[in-house]
Amino acid sequence: MTTPLNERRIANAIRVLAMDAVQKANSGHPGAPMGMADIADVVWREFLNHNPTNPQWANRDRFVLSNGHGSMLQYALLHLTGYDLSIEDLKAFRQLHSKTPGHPELGYAPGIETTTGPLGQGIANAVGFALAEKTLAAQFNKEDIQVVDHFTYCFLGDGCLMEGVSHEACSLAGTLGLGKLVVYYDDNGISIDGEVEGWFSEDTEQRFLSYGWQVLKVDGHDADAIRAATIEAKAETKKPTIIICKTVIGLGSPNKQGKEDCHGAPLGHDEIALTRQALGWTDEAFVIPEDVYAAWDAKAKGAEAEAAWNTTFDAYAAKYPTEAAELKRRLSGELPAEFIAQADAFIAETNAKAETIATRKASQNTLQAFGPLLPELLGGSADLAGSNLTLWKGCQGVQDNAAGNYVHYGVREFGMTAIANGVALHGGFIPYVATFLMFMEYARNAVRMSALMKQRVIHVYTHDSIGLGEDGPTHQPIEQIASLRGTPNLNTWRPADTVETVIAWKSAVQRSEGPTALIFSRQNLPFQTRTQAQIENAAKGGYVLAEEKGELKAIIIATGSEVALAMDAYAQLEGVRVVSMPCAEEFMKQDAAYREAVLPAAIRARVAVEAAHVDYWWKFVGLDGKVIGMTTYGESAPAKDLFKHFGITTDAVIAAVNELTA
């Protein structure tokens, strides 16, 4: 039986804070926080294991608000339970440089585990958290001492379930048996356009049962029912659980509850006054009574929980010192002390071998070398492991061995990438995920989110151009590299051979402040001879691969498979230098003197060649230069015929240089 609304003082604190903050900002979404307040009250006060005074405590439960537009729900919870988020911060909701932006953003308010807003990705991140927890636990826990043991709780709404990425992620979560994932579905029947029956009529219960989930159904305003369902969810260790909570959006608002009017707009002063009456809430805006604060305060309980875990960890460290030190290292995100030296040794070894192979194969060789050095690598591919070459000899699939290091994601590019973001956010792993470059498009928004959240996720893309050949235009990427390069805080590498491939991987692993895209060829690429200085400069993203013979008159800039074309042209020209630019972002981070040394401003005769969309390169060649590449989609034919057909040839490079220097 549900408690009368005006007697739910503790939950009502969320309702009043949400409606007051949205009203003050004159913008936001009060409906979800007001509708989910009763669920949040039970989950956060009775089940969530967290410490507001140490939001980064390693063994905390993770909480994800997938329906991120309801951000005031999370901000209210963080404030009430004792995080460093003041009432003034709530008053600054949605204002510039506040800790309380319109959607939960990682790095603003303490206690926010992930950025949510693009619907469906929060639940995919939550699957990533649960996967990371399960895998890390299997790798480090001992029969007598468990140091990795926490749950992931996720709130979501109708919008998340309509997004296809939720299907991808939840289907895999069921297959992998992520028993510590508990999801609460805010089943209020309302979206922005009104009652969802006209566009969302599926049987959610049957859908999740078919995934292999436990499905429970409750009245989302009945605290006893929510509590009982949560206990049942936690007891089911083999399956994730979704609790379908029937709720009323905007509950408490006499005239707007249950309607789309309260979804994404302030209630208005008059309606807020009526809502206060309905809730039996007599305090003014942003005023919470002391007894309500006391009921919410989780600081003492959190400190106690962390202290108990610290005692457990100390016992673990005493008995298993090697494992404890390794777990601390991995959770800190630091690389093994010897990794850089070992990576450099492998670069030297690769250089000495001088192999002409596909860069996807060179990538696999690198993984074979780096994999044993980096137990934190958690790889995966969207059903293309044999084509992406992302498996190495030490790989074990997590579907067979929970302590494994490889995820067979199936044909789920978007789900895979959003799950990997969750894995990175959890800590303890460096995820890499792979597909064909063309099918990055399916994952595009999750790639953007890894960059936005500054997460070390390595996006591996093979079959990088028309060079993949016979599969034709649907599989041949044209505009994708430009799209990746246009993404802030993403490094995009397109190496020319084996040595540049290892350098790219080393850079991606080292880059802790954001993601990297590694773009590899299907076809064999000739090895390029380099000095030690050139090898060191390659890590700077752009460098002189071939010095000009005689006076410098023109510069050829190339990446990936087209470096070989540039070098063939170079052999037939005088006064030309070849610049290999595997990573333009890294090159642009170098100081002005280095960039000038590579690309002297006085040399206006510049040709860029890349089997991708031409438009990116004008910033390097200027209006006086020429770009050889693609302006149309591809065709289905053997690779060599396609390069000739589209004019991406040595002869074309030579002709362009001659024209510019005539």
Q: How far apart are CA 651 and CA 35, in angstroms?
A: 67
Q: How far apart are CA 181 and CA 340, in angstroms?
A: 36
Do the strands 543-546 and 576-580 form a parallel or antiparallel pair, or are they unpaired?
A: antiparallel
Among residues 105, 413, 562, 610, the one annotated as catalytic is 413
Q: How far apart are CA 50 and CA 72, in angstroms?
A: 19
Structure tokens that stand for 216 in this block: 């429970």
Residue 192 backbone dihedrals phi, psi, to 5 degrees: -55, -40
Distant-in-sequence, close-in-space partners of 300: CB < 8 Å, separation ≥ 6: none
Closest to 477 in 3D by CA, of 464, 490, 487: 464
Do the strands 626-630 and 606-613 form a parallel or antiparallel pair, or are they unpaired?
A: parallel
Distant-in-sequence, close-in-space partners of 651: CB < 8 Å, separation ≥ 6: none
- How would you class 88 by CB atoms within 10 Å of its CB: exposed for 0-12, middle for 13-18, buried for 19 or more? exposed
Residue 413 falls in the annotated catalytic set: yes
Structure tokens that stand for 285 in this block: 């805006």
Q: How far apart are CA 642 and CA 639, in angstroms?
A: 5
Structure tokens that stand for 365 in this block: 């060789």
SS (H, E, C) 68-132: HHHHHHHHHHHHHHCCCCCHHHHHCCCCCCCCCCCCCCCCCCCCCCCCCCCCCHHHHHHHHHHHH
Closest to 158 in 3D by CA, of 111, 215, 117, 196: 196
**Amino acid, single-letter form, for residue 570:** Y
Three-state secondary-structure class, residue 558: strand
Cα dist. 562→56, 200, 435, 521, 569 in Å? 46, 48, 22, 11, 11
191 forms beta bridges with 194
Residue 49 backbone dihedrals phi, psi, to 5 degrees: -100, 105
Cα dist. 578→154, 338, 541, 575, 614 in Å? 52, 34, 14, 10, 18
Structure tokens that stand for 533 in this block: 């200085």
State the residue for tokens 């926080």.
33
Q: How far apart are CA 326 and CA 91, in angstroms?
A: 43
Q: How far apart are CA 160 and CA 116, in angstroms?
A: 11
Q: How far apart are CA 131 and CA 544, in angstroms?
A: 44
**Amino acid, single-letter form, for residue 528:** Q
Catalytic residues: 413
